[in-house]
C-alpha cells in the first residue's frame, strides 16, 4: 500500500513518517532506502547482529523496536553486559559523568531500551549541582557535550570492548573498562584519577563519533584538556596522545616536567603528574 498525506510538491512523508522518493517508490531512511518489507541494501551494523537479516527493519518487529537513524536498533549493550558479568560499569559511568558535568546523570528505559538521561526541573531546565557558595560544579564544556549527546535524536550505541582499547566512530562508542581501570590505578603525583576515568574516556570517544564532530585523535586531546582546565589543576593537562614506553611500563605525561623526563628516557619523579600502567 502507499498512503500519502498530500498531493502537493512538498516532501511526501508516508510509511513510518519517512519521505517517499517517488522516482523509485522507496522510503528514505538516511542510511538506506526501504521498500517495505525489506531494505534494498544491507544494514551498516549487520556484522553486530548475525542472527538478524541484514535487509530487515527493526529485527522484523517495528511494533516493538524503533530505528530512528536507520542504523542502530539497540543501546542496552552495557546493561546486558553488566547483568551477564555481575559488574556495575553503567553505574560507574553515570557517577563519573555526574561528577565531571555537574548534572545528575542516570539511565532510563524506553521501549525496552536503555538511555542516558539527566535530571531536569519543572521548567525542563537541567539541574546543575552547586558547591556551598552556589557555584556550579563540573565542567561547562563537558556539560554541554553530554547534553548534546542525550538530547539529540540520533542514537549513539555504547558497548564494551575490553582488551581492545576504547574507541569511537560513526554512531558507536566502545569502552575498554579494564584499560580505564589501569589508567585510574596508575595516576601519580597527585593526579586526579578521573582525568582518564570512565566519564572522561567516554567524552573523549564521543568526540570521535559523527555527532561529536568526528575529530581526529590529535584534535580530541586539546578539547579534552579544556575540560580538564575547568575541572581543576589536579586533572593536569594531557601532554601526549601516544603512550610512551619506558622500562616495561607505558606512560602518559600530564605536565611538562613528566613529558621532558620521558623524552630523555628518564622515569618522572613522584612530584610530576603522569599515568603509568
Q: pLDDT by residue (tens digit) across 151-167?
A: 888 888 899 988 888 99
Q: Which range of residues forms the domain containing residue 36? A: 1-73
Q: Is 252 a domain residue?
A: no
Q: Of the ranges 34-38, 187-191, 207-211, 227-231, which one carries the lowest mean pLDDT score? A: 34-38
Question: Does residue 39 share a domain with residue 2?
Answer: yes
Question: Does residue 211 share a domain with residue 113?
Answer: yes
Rg (C-alpha) for the chain, rounded Å, is 22
Question: Does residue 84 share a domain with residue 68?
Answer: no
List own/partner pairs for 125-133 with CB under 8 A and 24 or more apart. Answer: 127/103, 128/102, 128/103, 129/98, 129/102, 129/103, 129/104, 130/102
> 48, 73, 98 — which closes off a domain?
73
Q: What is the pLDDT of residue 247?
A: 95
Mean pLDDT of the chain: 83
> 73, 94, 125 — which closes off a domain?
73
Report the predicted TM-score, pTM, of the whole model to 2 decimal places: 0.73
Q: What is the pLDDT of residue 7?
A: 45
CA–CA dist 182, 93 (Å, integer): 15
> 53, 73, 93 — which closes off a domain?
73
CA–CA dist 235, 68 (Å, integer): 37
Q: Of the ranges 92-101, 127-136, 148-157, which one carries the lowest mean pLDDT score? A: 148-157
Question: Does residue 89 share a domain with residue 203?
Answer: yes
Question: Does residue 234 share a domain with residue 165?
Answer: yes
Q: Is the pLDDT of residue 70 over 60?
A: no
Question: Does residue 221 share a domain with residue 85?
Answer: yes
Q: Is 255 a domain residue?
A: no
Confidence of residue 1 (pLDDT cuts 50, 70, 90): very low
Q: Is 27 a domain residue?
A: yes
Query: Of 73 and 141, which is predicted with more confidence?
Result: 141
Question: Does residue 156 share a domain with residue 22?
Answer: no
Strand partners, 28: 19, 33
Q: Is the pLDDT of residue 76 over 60?
A: yes
CA–CA dist 7, 74 (Å, integer): 35
For residue 208 the three cell numbers come to 570521535
Q: Is 183 a domain residue?
A: yes
Closest CA to 98 of 132, 134, 127: 127
CA–CA dist 264, 28 (Å, integer): 57
Question: Does residue 93 share a domain with residue 19?
Answer: no
Q: Is the pLDDT of residue 72 over 70?
A: no
CA–CA dist 94, 79 (Å, integer): 12
Q: Is 258 a domain residue?
A: no
CA–CA dist 237, 206 (Å, integer): 19
Q: Is 254 a domain residue?
A: no
70: exposed, middle or buried (Cβ count in 10 Å: 0-12, 13-18, 19+): buried
Q: Is 249 a domain residue?
A: no
Side by side, which strands form the sheet with 157-160?
A: 157-160, 172-175, 167-169
Which of 146-150, 172-176, 227-231 reaches the highest mean pLDDT? Answer: 227-231
Q: What is the pLDDT of residue 206?
A: 94
Segment holding 142, helix H or strand E: helix 140-151
Q: What is the pLDDT of residue 154?
A: 83
pLDDT tens per residue, range 103-134: 999 988 887 888 898 999 999 899 999 999 99
Question: Does residue 213 share a domain with residue 148?
Answer: yes
Question: Does residue 104 share a domain with residue 46?
Answer: no
CB 69 within 8 A of CB 171: yes
Q: Of the ranges 41-45, 69-73, 91-95, 119-123, which one carries the lowest mean pLDDT score? A: 69-73
Question: Does residue 81 share a domain with residue 67?
Answer: no
CA–CA dist 252, 276 (Å, integer): 7
Q: Is 50 helix (H, G, I), strand (E, B) or coil?
A: coil
Q: Is 92 a domain residue?
A: yes
- The pLDDT of 86-92, averaged and rounded, is 93
Q: Is the pLDDT of residue 58 over 70?
A: no
CB 192 within 8 A of CB 100: no
Q: Of the ranges 15-29, 79-93, 121-135, 221-235, which one carries the lowest mean pLDDT score? A: 15-29
Count: domains in the chain: 2
Question: Does residue 154 share a domain with residue 50?
Answer: no
CA–CA dist 88, 201 (Å, integer): 17
For residue 163 the three cell numbers come to 582488551
Amino acid at each position: 500500500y502507499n498512503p500519502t498525506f498530500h498531493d502537493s510538491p512538498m516532501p511526501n512523508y508516508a510509511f513510518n513518517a519517512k519521505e517517499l522518493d517517488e522516482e523509485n517508490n522507496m522510503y528514505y531512511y538516511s542510511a538506506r532506502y526501504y521498500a517495505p518489507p525489506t531494505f534494498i541494501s544491507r544494514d551498516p551494523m549487520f556484522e553486530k547482529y548475525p542472527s538478524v537479516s541484514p535487509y530487515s527493519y527493526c529485527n522484523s518487529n517495528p511494533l516493538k523496536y524503533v530505528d530512528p537513524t536507520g542504523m542502530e536498533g539497540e543501546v542496552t549493550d552495557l546493561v546486558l553486559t553488566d547483568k551477564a558479568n555481575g559488574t556495575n560499569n553503567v553505574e560507574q559511568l553515570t557517577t563519573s559523568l555526574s561528577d565531571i558535568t555537574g548534572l545528575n546523570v542516570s539511565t532510563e528505559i524506553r521501549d525496552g531500551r536503555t538511555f542516558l538521561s539527566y535530571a531536569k526541573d519543572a521548567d525542563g531546565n537541567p539541574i546543575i549541582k552547586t558547591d556551598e557558595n552556589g557555584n556550579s560544579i563540573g565542567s561547562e564544556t563537558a556539560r554541554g557535550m553530554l547534553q548534546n549527546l542525550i538530547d539529540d535524536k540520533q542514537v549513539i550505541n555504547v558497548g564494551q570492548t575490553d582488551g581492545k582499547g576504547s574507541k569511537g566512530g560513526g554512531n558507536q562508542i566502545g569502552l575498554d573498562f579494564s584499560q580505564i581501570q589501569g589508567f585510574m590505578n596508575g595516576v601519580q603525583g597527585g593526579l586526579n584519577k578521573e582525568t582518564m576515568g570512565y566519564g572522561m574516556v567516554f567524552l573523549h570517544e564521543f568526540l570521535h563519533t559523527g555527532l561529536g564532530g568526528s575529530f581526529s585523535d590529535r584534535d580530541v586531546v586539546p578539547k579534552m584538556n579544556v575540560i580538564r582546565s575547568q575541572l581543576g589543576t589536579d586533572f593536569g593537562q594531557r601532554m601526549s596522545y601516544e603512550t610512551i614506553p619506558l622500562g616495561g611500563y607505558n606512560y602518559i605525561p600530564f605536565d611538562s616536567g613528566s613529558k621532558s623526563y620521558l623524552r630523555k628516557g628518564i622515569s618522572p619523579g613522584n612530584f610530576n603528574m603522569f599515568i603509568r600502567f
